[in-house]
A and B are shown apart, each in its own frame.
Chain A
Amino acid sequence: MFELIGVAPQALFGQLLLGLINGAFYAMLSLGLAVIFGLLNVINFTHGAQYMMGAFGAWMLLNYVGIPFWGALVLSPIIVAIIGMIIERTLLRRLYHLDHLYGLLLTFGLALILEGLFRRQYGSSGLPYDNPLPGGTNLGFMFLPNYRGFVVIASLVICLATWFVIERTKLGSYLRAATERPDLVQAFGIDVPRMITLTYGFGVGLAALAGVLAAPAYQVSPTMGSNLIIVVFAVVVIGGMGSIMGAIVTGFGLGVIEGLTKVFYPEASSTVIFVIMAIVLLIKPAGLFGTAK
């Protein structure tokens, strides 16, 4: 550890880059959560399970149907999103008029069911998924696996595209309007319930996409989501619930901070995000990018 501080600039640069890669996953997951919360007012605890389903989807497509990674990157999120939309139509919809708490509890229950079913079927130790982009590039200060580089770029593109659609396009403005005054938007002839269903599907799809991206890097395992979900919640809260840009920036930012903690005080690297969350909430209750309602 101390040797590393000795050779600081180079090694540190490598660690920063690694933090950014981790941040890419946080950003994509928290983005989905933020979209769902911002537009539906539901705290989607199933997000971790949906991320896991995305990874399993990729695995199943490969092993049962023979569709490789690149196909799964498109198909798996769509399938998981459809399942998500069915859940929204049948269960979540009935809770919109109630407190946040109920949505959170319902999705928590769903997460338990999904995780339990996958454990039942595929065991707990996980399944292998081959790296579609083997090899790597020597950047001088570190060896960057090609696949990790791809993950960062893909995630940045997806995050910015999402932000653009919601904040800068007409469709996005309908969405935002629909959450503020559904009755009014409905009166303009827009099918608000369908829009909400699609939004939920989109948020879920983002989680599943992150899952597919995670499959070659981590393990495809039933617990991969539940280990991550609490951290991602923290990311969303720090960024400000419902803030799209906040989720993206905080996701990448916290990835970097966590990466640095892994060098200087590795034992605390899984706790550092919560420390930051407590501090941020005490100073700026609505999160870094949020506005108090």
Chain B
Amino acid sequence: MRFAAILMAAASVLAVTASAQAQTPVKVKIGVLTDMSSLYADLAGPGSVWAAKKAVEDFNATNKSLQVEVVAADHQNKADVGTSVARQWYDVDGVDMIVDTPNSGVALAINTVTREKNKVFVNSGAASSDLTGKQCSPNTVHWTYDTWALANGTGKAVTKNGGDTWFFLTADYAFGHALERDTSEVVKANGGKVVGNVRVPINNADFSSFLLQAQGSKAKVIGLANAGGDTINSIKQAAEYGIVSGGQKLAGLLIFLSDINSIGLKTAQGLNLTSAWYWDMTDANRAFAKEFSAANGGKYPTMVQAGVYSGVTHYLKSVAAIKSAKDGAAVVAEMKKMPTDDKLFGKGEVRADGRQIHPMYLFEVKKPSDSKGPYDFYTLKATIPANEAFRPLDQGGCPLVKKT
């Protein structure tokens, strides 16, 4: 093992000197570790792999100094499968960086492995704000969103618009609890009140009982602190029980473009949600979405997939700047030093705790009659500026942030 390490070190030294002399491209290997087959496959999955490859292609078009290879694997939403793949990638296959990884449990495990092996982990798909909080690491960058940003975006906007009493429908696991906790704080900070909550077991298909409890609470807003199929089912059934027509509002705390497609506009219309990215905002986004859709069977990119593109782009720029991908901490340090700038997420920065900072957007789901084409779902309601969109640096409890 030690011998191999020396060899590797020697090889990387050779690579560096060689590239300095003869402009031989630096080899970089990117692993897209994602959910290819279940819960998160639509919002990340094969689309994320495509986005990573696209980022490499676009990078190569302007900069020839790197020779990049992209591999992909399915973590099946199991932390042990995810870490097996990650270890094998790092130890045997020479992968330098892992990207995407929805599912907070798996992401936290990859966070640990990546730090141990001194590689790079750019997360786009997971929600846990612990990745840049208590568990932050000098090898991890969290790109697209987190529970705090979602809670802050939706919670603040809805409360300020008069939705000052809340009832939470919370998925009964750590992610749901975090989302509920973060949103409650935002609601209270903005003068609102939480009148009740109900914890719903995972994989529960029928929400009518819980919705009835929410209805009985007379809260103005029902906060859906859940994700994926749970959110879809609760929104669908809320429509059935006439909750929205009865005057209560639904606030989805984590909703992706792919979810709206599943619910259908007829049911989802009027819903408020926070997102980091939407395809129909700039020409560059629209062009990206068009290509994405052509390559992915008509699906449009979600914020997670766009985040993969953006994260990979910034990673490659940083590697090109320091001319080596071997020392993960050094690459991440460079990622933090260099301002981020790409065609999808625009200008931004990576903070000391690994949090990438960009504006977040509050959207409302369109009425079916206002939707002009496929995936024309959102109307922009408000932009949350980058400096307000994420948890302040000193509140996350990240040990990397020096106390002043």
Contacts and interface: CB of A to CB of B under 8 A. Distances in A.
Contact of B37 (A7, A116, A136, A219): A116
A270 B201 CA distance: 6
Contacts of A221: 229, 262
Interface string A124-167: 11111011000010000011010110000000000000000000
Given A125-B259, A128-B264, A147-B240, A262 B210 contact: yes
A127 B242 CA distance: 21
A243 interface: no
B366 to A, nearest CB: 15
Interface string B62-85: 000000000000000000000000
A96 interface: no
Interface residues of B, number: 45
Given A1-B198, A267-B172, A125 B42 contact: yes
A104 interface: no
Interface string B188-209: 0000000010111111111011
A209 to B, nearest CB: 17
B198 A266 contact: yes
A198 interface: no
B39 A263 contact: no
Contacts of B203: 227, 270
A52 to B, nearest CB: 12
A266 to B, nearest CB: 5
Contact of B240 (A3, A126, A217, A228): A217
B205 A266 contact: no
Contact of A123 (B42, B198, B200, B246): B42
Interface string B229-244: 1001100110011100
Interface string A197-235: 000000000000000001001110101100110000000
B213 A263 contact: yes
A8 to B, nearest CB: 11
B386 interface: no
Given A119-B41, A136-B241, A223-B38, A11 B264 contact: no
A15 interface: yes
Given A124-B38, A127-B262, A219-B262, A266 B208 contact: no
Interface string A46-78: 000000000000000000000000000000000
B109 interface: no
A3 B229 contact: no
A145 B196 contact: no
A266 B197 CA distance: 11
A223 B229 contact: yes
Interface string A1-30: 101100100010011001101100000000
Contact of B208 (A11, A148, A227, A271): A148
B208 A125 contact: no
A22 B240 contact: no
Contacts of A224: 205
A290 interface: no
A113 to B, nearest CB: 13
A123 B205 contact: no
A259 interface: yes
Given A22-B206, A125-B229, A125-B258, A219 B236 contact: yes
B48 to A, nearest CB: 14
A179 interface: no
A11 B212 CA distance: 8
Q: Which of B202, B213, B240, B241 is packed against the most chain A CB atoms within 10 Å?
A: B240
15 contacts: A11-B212, A14-B212, A22-B206, A124-B38, A125-B229, A126-B262, A128-B236, A128-B266, A136-B241, A218-B233, A219-B232, A219-B236, A224-B205, A267-B201, A268-B201
Interface of A: 1, 3-4, 7, 11, 14-15, 18-19, 21-22, 116, 119, 123-128, 130-131, 136, 142-143, 145, 147-148, 214, 217-219, 221, 223-224, 227-228, 259, 262-263, 266-271
Given A18-B206, A18-B209, 13 more contacts: A3-B216, A3-B217, A4-B216, A119-B41, A125-B42, A125-B232, A126-B232, A145-B241, A145-B242, A217-B240, A228-B205, A266-B198, A267-B172
